[in-house]
Amino acid sequence: MDKSIIIVDDHPLFRTAMQAALGQLQTIASIFEAGTIAELEQLLRDHNAPDLILLDLHLPGAHGLSGLLFLRGQYPDVAIAIISATEDTTVIQKAFHHGVRGFIPKSADMSTLHEAIGALLNGESWFPSTFSPHTDSIKLPEMEQKLSTLTPQQFRVLRMISEGMLNKQIAADLNVSEATVKAHVTAIFKKLGVRSRTQAVIAIKGLSLAAPDDQSPAQTDNSPE
């Protein structure tokens, strides 16, 4: 049966190169592209779930592992593989424990890429040969579990809050009322067990692959207003 793949990366040239490389595999019927998490969400709404998502970890609108966590929480049955310039075993281990099917370095040559994609589309896992996963059961941090319960719209609002946007700006971007945004923020606070925007931002930035940026004054608002 022919397969479908979504390539999620913010570099158009890389997506084009991946399209060309994957087009050589006869089992793939459809290849879609997204440059941001928002574009990926739109693709998932407009099309049937793909057989595989190839996800870069460094995307606009995402903090490190937050894009992966969102996908695992909202689309648990979709196979996800990370394709990244990062080859740090700690990052690969974190992705592994968040349920990814594979991790493909961007430095992989064509034959390795084809081997990895073939294995993944056959329902197998694929990780670099130098990676030895710790398969012991590990309980995910409580905050990561809570973040995975957010709805797609709540995730969008939280991402915008983390960028320092006010309710008025979020409402304009999402084409909803400020009251709706306030309701989303209140729901986010409740699900995460936090009392302020600062705490909510710290929660999502805790998924970053690097040290969190200094907080801006916009992130210190202690209410859903």
Inter-axis angle of helices 197-205 and 152-162, nearest 10: 100
Which tokens hold the place of 87? 């080859």
Tokens of 119: 């294995």
The amino acid sitting at 69 is L
Q: Which CATH number fits domain 142-220: 3.30.470.20, 1.10.10.10, 3.30.70.100, 3.30.420.40?
A: 1.10.10.10
Would you say 103 and 81 are in contact if contact means Cβ atoms under 8 Å apart?
A: yes
pLDDT digits (tens, 9 = 90+) for 144-189: 778 878 887 888 898 889 888 999 999 999 999 999 999 999 999 9
Tens digit of pLDDT for each residue in 202-219?
887 776 654 333 333 344
Between CA 189 and CA 19 the distance in angstroms is 40
Taking only the tens place, the pLDDT of each residue in 25-83 is: 878 889 999 998 888 888 988 888 899 999 998 887 666 777 888 788 778 888 999 99
Name the segment(s) of the chain with CATH classification 1.10.10.10. Answer: 142-220
Position 151, amino acid? T
For helices 152-162 and 167-174, the axis angle rounded to 10 degrees is 130
Domain 3-121 has CATH 3.40.640.10: no
Cβ count near 21 (within 10 Å)? 15
Where are the domain boundaries for CATH 3.40.50.2300 in the chain?
3-121
Q: Which residue reads 């690097």 in tokens?
A: 210
pTM, 2 dp: 0.75
Q: Any idea of the CA torsion for 59, 64, 68, 71, to the nearest 10 degrees? A: -70
- Using an 8 Å Cβ cutoff, are 161 and 183 in contact? no
Structure tokens at 67: 């894009």
